[in-house]
DNA sequence: AAGCTCGTCAACCGCACCCCA
DNA sequence: GTGGGGTGCGGTTGACGAGCT
């Protein structure tokens, strides 16, 4: 019995022999693949077209890079996966010479375990937590928060200068619902492969600090090219901010500059919470608005046992293909 | 040495999408 | 508008080898 794509032709399955490989290579070298379904017949193979295509794409293509993944490739996979999820073909496009199948296998066999070992959920890249509040269009959150951003404040002296000569520089963030800051002291995740990452500013790479899917940021897109004043008008739980000139925000943006920042700015956070709490108590119903752009979208808000992942922040700072990728996929 | 477990990875399956008649 | 063929993609399977008991 043949495959559905091959009618009733009897086809061979399983591993390819060197002879079969040779036939396929020879045929494709002289004729190209054209219509894949006709390839097996023309190449003299007892395979279905689909199998030929797969063999060529995943194994025989001359431009394939063999061997194990480099650290750089691994980082790229994690970064892109954080944005795109399990879209292996899209991820593979960022890795010349690698196939979607290869990336997928590498993810499942290696990266997934590494993330889990770091306490990160491989699907969301968030910290794994025992308590999870799920918010969707059918479930109102208990409350919501609103961040205030001080665009005029400067970074502390001991923190690195981040070049912010940004083109379409946008910072978007979401935050978890929580009006009891004393109960949920701030906690951010850090690590080389997930969560908030500090990257060398001299490389002008600042894509970091994700806590939610990019789709969650979509509703902020109306603010993308607005002036700083108008862009500082985020919906409850979601916000967008123009960082065209310079920006030092509070809350969501601080992890970019190192884990100690919260120690330095605890007072600032308390003030922020005050505003947030007040805001939340009046705007619970507005949270639904955030969820209206996609019927299927869910919002996951994670709480640590004794702490909260306060902001789900995504900061995109120009000059990095990852930024573009993130926005392209919003 | 034999049997078992586990990890890796090539290959397959089924579905979705696109294009064209 | 619709149905069928071709293609692309993500999830899953299963063969195989390495390591352990």
Short-list A78, A148, A129, CA closest to A311: A148
Rounded to whole angstroms, the distance from the CA of residue A294 to the C1' of nucleotide B13 is: 30
Rounded to whole angstroms, the distance from the CA of residue A16 to the C1' of nucleotide C15 is: 12
Given a contact cutoff of 8 angstroms between Cβ atoms, the answer to whether A12 and A37 are in contact is: no
Which nucleotides of chain C have an atom under 7 angstroms from any protein CB? 5-12, 15-16
Distances (CA, A) of A26 to A10, A33, A43, A46, A49: 22, 11, 8, 15, 16
Nearest nt to the CA of A105 via C1' is: B9
CB neighbour list of residue A139: distance below 8 Å, 6 or more residues apart: none
Q: Which residue is nearest to nucleotide C16 (CA to C1')?
A: A15
What's the predicted TM-score (pTM) here? 0.53
Rounded to whole angstroms, the distance from the CA of residue A321 to the C1' of nucleotide B11 is: 33
Rounded to whole angstroms, the distance from the CA of residue A292 to the C1' of nucleotide C21 is: 57
Given a contact cutoff of 8 angstroms between Cβ atoms, the answer to whether A179 and A276 are in contact is: yes
- Residue-by-residue pLDDT tens, chain A, 330 positions: 334 455 445 688 888 998 898 999 988 888 888 888 889 888 988 898 889 989 998 889 888 887 888 888 998 999 889 888 888 988 998 888 899 899 999 998 889 888 888 888 888 887 776 433 332 322 222 222 222 223 333 333 333 222 222 222 222 222 322 333 332 222 222 222 223 322 222 223 222 333 322 222 222 222 222 222 222 222 222 222 222 222 222 223 323 222 332 223 333 334 333 433 333 333 332 322 222 223 333 222 222 222 222 233 333 333 356 666 666 555
Nearest nt to the CA of A102 via C1' is: B9
Which nucleotides of chain B have an atom under 7 angstroms from any protein CB? 7-14
Residue A77: predicted pLDDT: 92
């Amino acid at each position: 019995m043949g495959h559905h794509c091959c009618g009733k032709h009897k086809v061979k399955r399983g591993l390819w022999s060197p002879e079969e490989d040779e036939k396929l290579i020879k045929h494709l070298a002289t004729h190209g693949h054209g219509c894949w379904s006709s390839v097996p017949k023309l190449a003299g193979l007892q395979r279905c077209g689909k199998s030929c295509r797969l063999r060529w794409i995943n194994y025989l293509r001359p431009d394939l890079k063999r061997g194990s993944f480099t650290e750089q490739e691994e980082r790229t996979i994690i970064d892109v996966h954080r944005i795109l999820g399990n879209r292996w073909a899209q991820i593979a496009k960022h890795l010349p010479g690698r196939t979607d199948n290869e990336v997928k296998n590498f993810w499942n066999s290696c990266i997934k375990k590494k993330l889990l070992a770091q306490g990160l959920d491989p699907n969301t890249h968030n910290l794994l937590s025992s308590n999870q509040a799920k918010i969707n269009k059918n479930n109102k959150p208990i409350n919501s928060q609103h961040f205030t951003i001080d665009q005029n404040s400067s970074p502390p002296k001991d923190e690195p200068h981040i070049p912010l000569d940004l083109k379409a520089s946008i910072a978007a963030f979401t935050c978890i619902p929580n009006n009891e800051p004393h109960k949920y002291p701030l906690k951010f995740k850090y690590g080389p492969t997930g969560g908030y990452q500090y990257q060398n500013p001299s490389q002008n790479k600042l894509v970091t600090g994700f806590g939610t899917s990019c789709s969650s940021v979509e509703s902020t897109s109306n603010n993308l090219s607005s002036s700083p004043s108008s862009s500082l008008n985020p919906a409850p739980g979601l916000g967008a901010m123009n960082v065209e000139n310079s920006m030092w925000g509070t809350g969501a943006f601080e992890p970019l500059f190192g884990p100690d920042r919260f120690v330095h700015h605890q007072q600032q956070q308390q003030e922020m919470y005050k505003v947030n709490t007040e805001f939340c108590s009046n705007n619970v119903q507005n949270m639904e608005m955030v969820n209206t752009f996609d019927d299927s979208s869910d919002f996951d808000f994670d709480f640590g046992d004794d702490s909260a992942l306060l902001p789900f922040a995504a900061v995109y700072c120009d000059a990095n293909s990852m930024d573009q990728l993130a926005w392209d996929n919003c």
